[in-house]
């Protein structure tokens, strides 16, 4: 078919679909990365530092993609950047910066008497030992089913 408009239109549509799929994949991947980064965030300063690193990395990767001429991959990099930013905000939980205006506009977090999120502190151990409630024993494994006193359930 060569140079007729139908073949070119089909190629353009296919590239748009691939770009959209890469953008969605980038958002999901970036959200996972942002959520994991948010686990280490203990204060606003660290939150903004991680945001700055995400922006710098996203801009650098996008510039490299555009320099190579693979413009379809730019959808994935922009999606990943957006996912990291959203994952950081959702994982951190507290509204900071422009998110305050966003949350106020949507009417989120406006309950009266809402207490601020407690600051996270680094604890020793990993996995269950790190997430274990204060009153729990020194076991390295979580208690999946309580069978300590079955008489209380009757």
pLDDT reading at 49 higher than 80: yes
Of 109, 108, 90, nearest to 41 by C-alpha is 90
Higher pLDDT, 84 or 70: 84
Q: Which of 90, 94, 83 is nearest to 55 (CA)?
A: 83
Q: Which residue has the higher pLDDT, 18 or 110?
A: 18
Residue 2 reports pLDDT greater than 90: no
pLDDT of residue 80: 94
SS3 132: coil
* pLDDT for position 113: 40
**How confident is the model over 113-129, as pLDDT tens digits?**
444 555 555 555 545 45
Mean pLDDT (whole number) for 130-140: 59
pLDDT in tens, 15-46: 889 999 999 999 999 999 999 998 888 888 88
pLDDT at 3 over 50: yes
Quote the CA–CA distance of 60 and 115 in Å, as a whole number. 39
- Report pLDDT for 54: 94
H helix count then E strand count, the chain: 5, 0
Predicted pLDDT of residue 64 = 92
The chain-wide mean pLDDT, for the chain, equals: 76
């Amino acid at each position: 078919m060569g140079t007729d408009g139908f073949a070119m239109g089909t190629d353009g549509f296919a590239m748009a679909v691939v770009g959209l799929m890469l953008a969605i994949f980038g958002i999901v991947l970036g959200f996972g990365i942002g959520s994991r980064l948010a686990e280490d965030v203990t204060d606003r300063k660290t939150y903004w530092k991680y945001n700055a690193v995400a922006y710098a990395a996203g801009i650098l990767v996008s510039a490299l993609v555009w320099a190579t001429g693979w413009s379809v991959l730019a959808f994935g990099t922009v999606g990943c950047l957006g996912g990291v930013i959203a994952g950081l905000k959702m994982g951190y939980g507290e509204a900071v910066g422009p998110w305050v205006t966003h949350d106020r506009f949507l009417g989120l977090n406006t309950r009266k008497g809402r207490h601020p999120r407690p600051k996270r502190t680094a604890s020793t151990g990993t996995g269950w030992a790190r997430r274990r409630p204060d009153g729990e024993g020194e076991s390295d494994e979580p208690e999946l089913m309580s069978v300590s006193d079955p008489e209380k359930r009757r």
